[in-house]
């Protein structure tokens, strides 16, 4: 198949950009011709992503008409796909937050959320048309599927994201694991870096923070080490030298980071709040899901894991290989795209 992949940018460092890159590589490895369409790429920050999205939004879409099928990611990708006239699968990572603010956003900025909601009726209408225009809507997990059902009155195919288990693998030096680890975007309020820092403080452990940050919490303390953004072998090494991954994100749509850590044999603690980790980590012997936003329970779960963190285990890696491998993700994606191209959805 000739597949057109549309995303606002491929230059960012977020989860969406990682997913796009993995899907493109996986589909090409399976022999498909894959063309990637995106907006102007002028950097990796939030402003650069906004510029990329604005540039993509004005593309007419006629250059995509030679494709058999399109794979549209975050808006305005589905709007461009709809203009092309070609059949498309929309991988809906989460509903457009500017049009549909979450409860956590309302709690953080009630006035701002109300303004977006009041001014967003046109935006919601445009978004709704593009989502309904897709032959198939795929989502990373059941929580997002429930949101799609509630907001768009549509059913969605649950297509979990995958981890490359040939890259994310356990290391051999397990006895050196003492530090706690946070991986993500510390500047995003819902990632709750402050909670991770507090857990490390309570336990008297050093916390390594992997991720770009311009605004470090004033109370991070000397036990917090900021490494900045890491990828590839450097990121794998960060996982392997850690005792426990702290994942205190609120209402996470999916969460690749915990699965990457588990694939490297690192235990994980996350919230059981009915969102991504409640689905991805359920039943994993190396993961603890604790009552939502109970910091005492979170700290206690980390403390319980520390004595056995240095032991070489296979529970996490086996769990990821069996349920969330990148190979399985691409295989299912290929099947869905083939059905869309053939018009049999």
Overall fold of domain 2-162+325-342: Rossmann fold (3.40.50)
For residue 10, the model assigns a pLDDT of 75
Cut 0.85: pTM above it: yes
For residue 108, the model assigns a pLDDT of 47
Size of the chain in residues: 345
CA distances from 37 to 95, 223, 335, 341 (A): 21, 43, 21, 18
Q: Where are the domains of the chain?
A: 2-162+325-342, 179-323
How many angstroms separate the CA atoms of 43 and 123, rounded? Answer: 26
Per-residue pLDDT tens digits for 198-214: 999 999 999 999 998 77
Q: Is the pLDDT of residue 112 over 60?
A: no
CA distances from 31 to 144, 334, 336 (A): 30, 11, 16
Q: How many CB atoms lie within 10 A of CB 276?
A: 28
How many angstroms separate the CA atoms of 161 and 22, rounded? Answer: 10
Confidence band, pLDDT 50/70/90 cuts, at residue 107: very low
How many angstroms separate the CA atoms of 93 and 18, rounded? Answer: 12
Q: Is the pLDDT of residue 249 over 70?
A: yes
How many angstroms separate the CA atoms of 233 and 152, rounded? Answer: 40
DSSP 189: G
Instruction: At 279, give phi and psi (nearest 5°).
Output: -90, -50
Q: Is 70 helix (H, G, I), strand (E, B) or coil?
A: strand
Max CA pair span of the chain: 59
Q: Please name the residues in contact with 178: beta carbons below 8 A apart, sequence gap of 6 or more.
A: 205, 206, 243
For residue 198, the model assigns a pLDDT of 94
How many angstroms separate the CA atoms of 93 and 256, rounded? Answer: 12
**Higher per-residue confidence, 307 vs 310:** 307
Work out the mean pLDDT of the chain and round it to a whole number: 88
How many angstroms separate the CA atoms of 150 and 282, rounded? Answer: 24
Q: How many CB atoms lie within 10 A of CB 74?
A: 24
Q: Are the beta carbons of 177 and 242 closer than 8 angstroms? A: yes
**Class of the domain covering 179-323:** alpha beta
**Residue from 322, 325, 344 nearest 335 by CA:** 344
Per-residue pLDDT tens digits for 267-295: 999 999 999 999 999 999 999 999 999 99
Q: Are the beta carbons of 145 and 156 closer than 8 angstroms? A: yes
Cβ-in-10-Å burial (0-12, 13-18, 19+) of 194 comes to middle
How many angstroms separate the CA atoms of 314 and 327, rounded? Answer: 19
Q: Is the pLDDT of residue 21 over 60?
A: yes
Residue position matching structure tokens 């995106």: 38
Q: Is 270 helix (H, G, I), strand (E, B) or coil?
A: strand
For residue 121, the model assigns a pLDDT of 74
Task: Point out the least confidently predicted range of 183-187, 194-198, 236-240, 312-316.
Answer: 312-316
Same fold, 2-162+325-342 and 179-323: yes
Cis preceding-peptide flag for 28 (omega within 30 of 0)? no
Q: Is 105 helix (H, G, I), strand (E, B) or coil?
A: helix
Average pLDDT of the segment spanning 30-34 = 96
Q: Please name the residues in contact with 155: beta carbons below 8 A apart, sequence gap of 6 or more.
A: 137, 145, 148, 149
For residue 158, the model assigns a pLDDT of 97
DSSP 272: E
Q: Is the pLDDT of residue 160 over 90?
A: yes
């Amino acid at each position: 198949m000739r597949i057109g992949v549309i995303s606002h940018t491929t230059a960012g460092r977020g989860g969406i950009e990682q997913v796009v890159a993995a899907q493109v590589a996986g589909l090409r490895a399976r022999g498909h011709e894959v063309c990637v369409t995106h907006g102007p790429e002028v950097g990796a920050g939030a402003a650069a992503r906004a510029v990329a999205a604005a540039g993509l939004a004005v593309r007419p879409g006629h250059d995509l008409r030679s494709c058999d099928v399109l794979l549209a990611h975050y808006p305005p990708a589905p709007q461009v796909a709809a203009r092309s006239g070609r059949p498309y699968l929309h991988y809906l990572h989460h509903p457009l937050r500017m049009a549909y603010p979450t409860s956590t956003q309302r709690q953080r900025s009630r006035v701002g959320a109300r303004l977006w909601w009041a001014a967003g009726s046109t935006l919601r209408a445009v978004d709704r048309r593009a989502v309904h225009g897709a032959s198939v809507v795929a989502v990373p997990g059941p929580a997002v599927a429930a949101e799609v059902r509630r907001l768009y009155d549509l059913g969605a195919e649950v297509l979990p994201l995958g981890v490359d288990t040939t890259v994310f693998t356990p290391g051999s030096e397990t006895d050196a694991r003492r530090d706690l680890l946070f991986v993500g975007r510390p500047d995003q309020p819902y990632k709750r870096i402050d909670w991770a820092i507090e857990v490390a403080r309570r336990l008297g452990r050093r916390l390594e923070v992997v991720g770009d940050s311009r605004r470090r919490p004033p109370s991070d303390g000397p036990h917090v080490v900021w490494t900045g953004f890491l990828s590839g072998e450097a990121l794998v090494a960060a996982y392997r030298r850690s005792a426990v991954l702290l994942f205190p994100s609120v209402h996470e749509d999916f969460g690749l980071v915990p699965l990457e850590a588990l694939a490297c044999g690192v235990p994980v603690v996350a919230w059981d709040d009915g969102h991504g980790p409640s689905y991805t980590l359920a039943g994993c012997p190396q993961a603890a899901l604790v009552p939502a936003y109970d910091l005492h329970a979170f700290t206690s779960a980390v403390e319980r894991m520390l004595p056995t963190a240095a032991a070489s285990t296979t529970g996490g890696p086996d769990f990821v290989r069996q349920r969330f491998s990148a190979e399985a993700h691409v295989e299912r994606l290929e099947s869905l795209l083939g059905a869309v191209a053939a018009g049999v959805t």
